[in-house]
Amino acid sequence: MEEKILSCSEAMAEVLAQEMARDETVFIIGEDIRAHGGIFGQFKGLPERFPDRVIDTPISETCIVGAGLGAAITGMRPLVDLHFADFVTTAMDEIVNQVAKIRYMFGGQVKVPLVIWAPDGGGLSAAAHHSQCLESWFIHTPGLKVVVPCEPSDVMGLLRSALRDDDPVIFFQHKRLFGHKGPVPPGDHTVPIGEAKIRKKGKDITILTYSMMTLLCLDAARQLEKEGIHVEVIDLRTLKPLDFNLIARSIRKTYRALIVHEACLTGGFGAEVAARIGEELFDFLDAPVCRIGAKDVPVPFSPPLEKFVLPQVEQIIQKVKEMLNR
């Protein structure tokens, strides 16, 4: 079997079909997912193939996550569709106080094989209620795993791993990546949760990034290459657990680290990574660890204002040059 080219939406639909055929306990629950095959086409063909396991619900994220949790602890493997990551706010008690804690509170006697799928990110003029990146809230919550794939192969591999995991996984997928295409390996392709990947090798500086920002960082790295600046780009893919071993190996080679994420800068995941680098790799740094994130304002509807608020390739290029010129 050869690799094939799929979009992130197609990769998701394919792996769900494979896992639902393999394991009858896997099912999907969410709002308006049967009629349209998901708002991004990520469930296309599944309602027809698995009519009893693609379940529409009322418009209540509290209800959806609560039902998913109940199903998970009684032997099923649900994927809960939140429509948009922003809507997670209405289900915070269920996620933070129940989903994340139950396995611990029962001493491991109860498994919680639940995937909460949450499309996030801006850049589509969807305005303040539909454009946020909220991953740092869940990094801060013990008991949850957090994945943020970029490439279709990682969407497929990480989703398969998440569906087979006995712990709850928050699966963030950037809305601008659904049409992004790339090669997908054949067969039972999995990506281990907690394993980052070097997308581009370099010797001058390490960029740590994930999700949509991976593509921007690779664009910046290619432009910098023309000027003789060799950037190493690491796609973290999983934020919790974090592959700090790969981060450390790269920084011991480049002596500089730039962290790029789309979430607001203040309190973003980059702050946690920067702190760990400072604590554990201080002696290897030739410059302070730097971060790029969105400005600390709600994401605007206006395209020019949204572009001003969110990180851009030009910012990344400028910051790399500043760090190298220190």
Catalytic annotation, residues:
130
Give the E-state strand segments of 65-113 in sequence order: 77-81
CB proximity list for 302: less than 8 A, separation 6 or greater: 125
Local structure of residue 134 (DSSP, 8 states): -
With CA atoms as reference, report the closest residue to 7 among 49, 38, 47, 53: 38
- In angstroms, the CA 119 to CA 17 distance is 19
Cα 208 to Cα 213: distance, rounded to the nearest angstrom: 10
Q: Look up residue 141 and give its two tokens.
A: 């919550």
The alpha helices in the chain, defined as continuous H runs, are 8-22, 46-49, 61-73, 92, 102-105, 135-139, 152-164, 213-225, 244-254, 269-280, 303-309, 313-324
* Six-digit token string for 142: 């013990």
Q: Do 211 and 148 meet the contact criterion of CB atoms below 8 Å apart?
A: yes
The three-state (H, E, C) secondary structure of 54-73, written as one string: EEECCCCHHHHHHHHHHHHH
For residues 125-134, b (16+ Cβ closer than 10 Å) or e, as one string? ebeeebbbbb
**Joined tokens for residue 72:** 């998970």
Decide the pairing of beta strands 197-200 and 169-174: unpaired
